[in-house]
């Protein structure tokens, strides 16, 4: 059999082998997304018969979005939440990884300890922080009281509510960046920093000129993952603030949830969700493109 014949046979085998997986993937991932897009083109309301199949004004929901102050506000809140939580997670995660990148039994135990928040179910994380933020039962407030320090109610304060969510989100997902950076640090050959040390570089210079270039791609990748994931901070918002006070912590997915399940505006909620989906896809593609460009330049 000729080489091209073998290739054709292999390609045919690959297609047949992949087909069942592709069918399953299509059914569980693509079809619901298509249904979401279809629903967003209707004024679907649970209690309005026929509204699910009313395509008379398909772009109506999308046309209403820019004029909806809560939607616009939710995007801004999401941007603030994502920016600060991802920034803290990357910086603190990197700091911890640098600190704990030493061979020691105690440090190994400490590394395991730091991973706990990430493996907890999100609702447990939310309950933990609910306890911490509730003034009459929180140890934080007992300590503050003992020190004669007056603390505001964090989750119902306009100035602190979003920060409270950022802190809880950072606590939960910090281990992810920590783990990624630690793995990257352990791949750096010792020779580079030893050579730099011989050349008279101090620790800061070694970090800046040797370590950082090595771990930058990992920082970008973990930041990208966290950025995409930060859009899913739903349990924290749901349990800690319900989007309040007012709309201070109302992120886009929480607004979409309220529309769909509180006020039953399924069609409009789907439009909000589609926009969110497009934004997340756009950010992801942007980051991937930036990563590739960096690689090409390197």
Which residues of this protein are in contact with other proteins, per CB under 8 A?
Answer: 43, 45-49, 51, 64, 67-70, 133-136, 152-158, 240-248, 250, 258, 261-265, 268
Yes or no: say if 249 and 73 are a contact pair by the CB < 8 Å rule.
no
CB of 11 to other proteins, least distance (A): 45
What φ, ψ does residue 42 adopt, rounded to 5°?
-120, 165
- Nearer to other proteins by Cβ, of 206 and 248: the residue is 248
Q: Report in angstroms how near the CB of residue 230 gets to other proteins at its nearest.
A: 22
237-262: b (≥16 Cβ within 10 Å) or e: bbbbbebeeebbbbbbbbbbbbbbee
Of the candidates 294, 253, 85, the one whose C-alpha atom is nearest the C-alpha of residue 177 is 85
Least separation in angstroms between CB 143 and other proteins: 15
Tokens of 22: 């592709």
Residues 6+ apart with CB under 8 A from 131: 137, 138
How does DSSP classify residue 212?
H
Which one, of 227, 235, 234, lies nearest residue 286 by Cα?
Answer: 227
Nearest CB to other proteins, comparing residues 73 and 193: 73
- Residue 246 or 286: the one with the smaller Cβ distance to other proteins is 246
The least distance separating other proteins from the CB of residue 152, rounded to whole angstroms, comes to 7
Instruction: Provide, rounded to whole angstroms, the least separation between the CB of residue 50 and other proteins.
Output: 11
Q: Assign residue 49 a region: left if phi > 0, alpha if psi is -120 to 50, beta otherwise? A: beta
Smallest distance, Å, CB 275 to other proteins? 15
**Given the complex with other proteins, which of 13 and 261 has the nearer CB atom?**
261
To other proteins, the closest distance from the beta carbon of 54 in angstroms equals: 10
Question: 3 or 136: whose CB is closer to other proteins?
Answer: 136
Give 208's DSSP letter: I
Residue 262: CB minimum distance to other proteins, A: 6
| Among candidate residues 128, 298, 139, 164, the one with its CA nearest the CA of residue 242 | 164
Nearer to other proteins, 101 or 134 (CB): 134
Instruction: Give yes or no for a contact between 97 and 178, defined as CB atoms under 8 angstroms apart.
Output: yes
Q: Which CB sits closer to other proteins, 132 or 206?
A: 132
d(CA 54, CA 75): 28
Place of tokens 């973990």: 222
Q: Residues 239, 126: contact at Cβ < 8 Å?
A: yes
145 or 216: whose CB is closer to other proteins? 145
């Amino acid at each position: 059999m000729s080489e091209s014949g073998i290739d054709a046979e292999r390609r045919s085998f690959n297609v047949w082998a992949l087909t069942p997986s592709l069918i399953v993937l299509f059914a569980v991932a693509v079809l619901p997304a298509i249904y979401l897009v279809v629903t967003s083109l209707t004024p679907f309301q649970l209690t309005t018969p026929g509204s699910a199949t009313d395509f008379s004004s398909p772009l109506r929901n999308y046309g209403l979005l820019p004029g909806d102050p809560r939607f616009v506000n939710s995007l801004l809140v999401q941007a603030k939440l994502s920016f600060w939580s991802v920034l803290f997670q990357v910086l603190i995660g990197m700091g911890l990884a640098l600190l704990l990148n030493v061979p020691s039994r105690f440090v190994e135990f400490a590394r395991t300890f730091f991973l706990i928040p990430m493996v907890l179910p999100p609702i447990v994380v939310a309950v933990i922080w609910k306890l911490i933020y509730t003034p009459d039962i929180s140890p934080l407030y007992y300590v503050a009281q003992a020190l004669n320090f007056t603390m505001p109610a964090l989750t119902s304060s306009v100035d602190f509510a979003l920060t409270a969510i950022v802190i809880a989100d950072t606590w939960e997902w910090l281990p992810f960046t920590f783990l990624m950076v630690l793995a990257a640090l352990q791949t750096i050959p010792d020779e580079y920093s030893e050579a730099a040390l011989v050349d008279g570089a101090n620790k800061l210079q070694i970090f800046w000129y040797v370590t950082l270039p090595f771990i930058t791609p990992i920082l970008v990748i973990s930041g990208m993952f966290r950025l995409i994931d930060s859009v899913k901070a739903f349990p924290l918002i749901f349990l800690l603030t319900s989007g309040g006070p007012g709309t201070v912590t109302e992120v886009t997915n929480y607004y979409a949830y309220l529309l769909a399940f509180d006020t039953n505006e399924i069609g409009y909620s789907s439009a909000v969700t589609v926009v969110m989906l497009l934004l997340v896809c756009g950010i992801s593609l942007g980051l991937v493109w930036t990563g590739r460009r960096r690689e090409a330049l390197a």
